[in-house]
């Protein structure tokens, strides 16, 4: 195996694309050495990082040369199509995998199908609205409150997720049980 082949192999294993690999061959070439048939990247601290130790190599590249690796938080086409509600992403997904398969994926996001134009985040709050007090994290139930009526950590986490997904919908959910976003105690309902 040559030095270029070792660099190529390491970056392919890290998920880099062809442009990143081409750049890496130029940028890393002078920093990669061979010792006893193995290839090492000489990092900024003068440590030899083996190219075949992907965990160490990827950590070093993330720190020193992140442009040679795929972006860490790139969202999938399905996330953009259904979670974010991008109609362009839905169209692209349908072209790539077909309408039937795209419909199955949409249902995994809580939607009725590819024609359901809500965002998956809105569908989550709609589901809580339909579920009544049992699913409402603002309701005064043993699952959501401690003995003093304060919200539990689990309830606060669920509330925050709903607010982040759809603030207007979350406010409606809280109001349905006489509460509002930011309350620390559940409101007891007269019944």
Span 5-33, pLDDT tens digits: 999 888 888 878 888 888 999 999 899 99
- Distant-in-sequence contacts of 110-119, Cβ < 8 A, 24+ apart: 111/82, 114/90, 117/85, 117/87, 118/85, 119/82, 119/83, 119/84, 119/85, 119/166
Q: Tens digits of per-residue pLDDT, 134-169?
A: 678 888 888 888 888 899 988 888 888 888 877 887
Give the relative orientation of helices 153-165 and 167-175 as an angle to the nearest 10 degrees: 130
**Range 122-136 average pLDDT:** 61
Residue scoring higher pLDDT (139 or 121): 139
Q: Please indicate, yes or no, whether the overall pTM of this predicted structure exceeds 0.75.
A: no
* Region of poorest pLDDT, from 47-61, 127-141, 142-156, 168-182: 127-141
């Amino acid at each position: 195996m040559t030095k270029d082949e070792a660099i190529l192999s390491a970056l392919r294993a890290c998920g880099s694309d062809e442009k990143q690999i081409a750049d890496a061959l130029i940028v890393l070439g002078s920093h990669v050495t061979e010792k006893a048939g193995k290839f090492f990247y000489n990092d900024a601290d003068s440590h030899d990082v083996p190219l075949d130790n992907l965990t160490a190599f990827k950590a070093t590249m993330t720190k020193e040369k992140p442009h040679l690796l795929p972006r860490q938080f790139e969202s999938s086409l399905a996330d953009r199509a259904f979670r974010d509600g991008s109609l362009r992403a839905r169209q692209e997904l349908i072209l790539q995998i077909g309408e039937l398969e795209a419909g199955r994926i949409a249902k995994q996001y809580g939607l009725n199908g590819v024609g359901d134009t809500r965002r998956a985040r809105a569908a989550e709050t709609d589901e809580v609205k339909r579920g009544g007090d049992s699913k409402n994290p603002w309701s005064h139930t043993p699952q959501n409150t401690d003995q003093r009526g304060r919200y539990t950590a689990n309830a606060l986490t669920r509330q925050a997720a709903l607010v982040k997904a759809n603030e207007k919908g979350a406010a409606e959910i809280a109001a349905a049980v006489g509460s509002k976003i930011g309350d620390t105690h559940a409101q007891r309902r007269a019944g």
